[in-house]
């Protein structure tokens, strides 16, 4: 239901863009395009995101330790083993994608494995598996695909000449500028709405799956410290909400339009969860 609502909202934005640049004909074309885009995004958006970051699939032979860690965590979470990808990058980060738990993938940057401890990597992987378990991955992946399309179409519409009314007369360029600015912003707000609340839940569930919320908290701080100093290759605003830490963390993360909650607040909640688990004697490693 959430995915259907998201697709409807993004379709509405595309139709509004079509109406401005081509009137009724443009709106009809955008309706047809958005329906085709929705269908394509449902089946192929995960492949597009993985290809964007040059993610390479690995297995038990090529990455035995990492694969074994994901396998063990998936068993704890009661999930089928997802496909595992490594992104060549010197900035640690990770995301999950796919359309359901049976067709899911987890992608981690190579720097995450190199710079984080085993427990920290386990915490990050558990967070991503939580997104898979709670079926957040489809809506976040479709949002990435559609938001990128909206932004591109709005910008190219202005480049190719702006909008015209039903009589073929040129419309005010101010309206076109507003469309170019508002359409990607509207898509970004939708992304924010479907991602921020889910990050808290994925942190909590990830702490339970890994058995060590403190390690996940340490990983979040470490990943953010790198993200503040450099932006990973091929990162885009359309896919930023998918990562465990926004790859554009150098920008003020307290912004109203941030796709992620503040890392300090996430860490605080994880520390409290760890204290509670420690008190109950349920804190464990992997």
Q: 161: buried, middle or exposed (CB in 10 Å: 19+, 13-18, 0-12)?
A: exposed
Whether 159 is in a domain gets the answer: yes
DSSP state of 285: -
Of 128, 201, 224, 272, the catalytic one is 128
Q: Is the model more confident about 52 or about 173? A: 52
pLDDT band of residue 243 (cuts 50, 70, 90) is very high
Q: Give a yes or no: residue 286 inside a domain.
A: no
Decide which of 12 and 242 is more confident: 242
What number of other Cβ atoms are within 10 A of residue 134's Cβ? 13
Calculated CA dihedral for residues 70, 76, 80, 84, nearest 10 degrees: -10
57 has catalytic annotation = no
Per-residue pLDDT at 257 = 52
Mean pLDDT within 90-117: 95
pLDDT category of residue 253 using cuts at 50, 70 and 90: very low
- Residue 179: inside a domain: yes
118 Rama class: left (phi>0) / alpha (psi -120 to 50) / beta: alpha
Rounded CA separation 173/163 (Å) = 8
Contact of 231 with 247, CB cutoff 8 Å: yes
The pLDDT assigned to 202 comes to 95
* % of the chain beyond a pLDDT of 90: 47
Q: Is residue 285 part of a domain?
A: no
What's the whole-number mean pLDDT along residues 230-238? 83
> Residue 254: pLDDT band by 50, 70, 90 thresholds?
very low
pLDDT of residue 52: 93
Sign of CA dihedral 44, 46, 52, 57: negative
Q: What is the pLDDT of residue 130?
A: 97
Q: What is the mean pLDDT of the segment spanning 116-131?
A: 97
Number of domains composing the chain: 1
Asked whether the beta carbons of 121 and 112 are under 8 A apart, the reply is yes
What range defines the domain where residue 62 resides?
Answer: 2-280
136-156 pLDDT tens trace: 887 777 766 666 677 676 666
Residue 135 lies in a domain: yes
């Amino acid at each position: 239901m959430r995915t259907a609502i998201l697709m409807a909202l993004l379709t509405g934005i595309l139709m509004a863009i079509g109406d401005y640049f081509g009137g009724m004909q443009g709106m009809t074309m955008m309706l047809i395009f958005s329906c085709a885009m929705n269908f394509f995004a449902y089946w192929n958006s995960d492949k597009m995101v993985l290809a964007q970051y040059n993610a390479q699939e690995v297995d038990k032979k090529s990455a035995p330790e990492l694969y074994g860690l994901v396998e063990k965590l998936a068993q704890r979470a009661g999930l089928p083993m997802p496909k595992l990808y490594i992104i060549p990058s010197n900035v640690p980060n990770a995301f999950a994608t796919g359309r359901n738990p049976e067709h899911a993938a987890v992608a981690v940057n190579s720097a995450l494995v190199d710079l984080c401890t085993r427990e920290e990597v386990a915490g990050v992987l558990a967070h991503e598996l939580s997104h898979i378990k709670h079926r957040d991955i489809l809506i976040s992946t479709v949002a990435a695909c559609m938001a990128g399309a909206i932004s591109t179409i709005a910008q190219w519409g202005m480049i190719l000449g702006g909008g015209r009314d039903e009589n073929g007369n040129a419309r005010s360029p101010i309206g076109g500028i507003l469309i170019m600015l508002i359409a990607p912003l509207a898509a970004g707000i939708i992304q924010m709405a479907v991602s921020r609340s889910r990050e808290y839940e994925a942190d909590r569930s990830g702490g339970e799956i890994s058995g060590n919320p403190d390690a996940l908290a340490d990983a979040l701080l470490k990943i953010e410290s790198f993200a503040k100093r450099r932006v990973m290759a091929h990162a885009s605003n359309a896919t930023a909400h998918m990562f465990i830490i926004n790859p554009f963390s150098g920008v003020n993360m307290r912004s109203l339009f941030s796709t992620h909650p503040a890392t300090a607040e996430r860490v605080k909640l994880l520390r409290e969860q760890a204290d509670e688990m420690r008190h109950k004697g349920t804190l464990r490693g992997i």
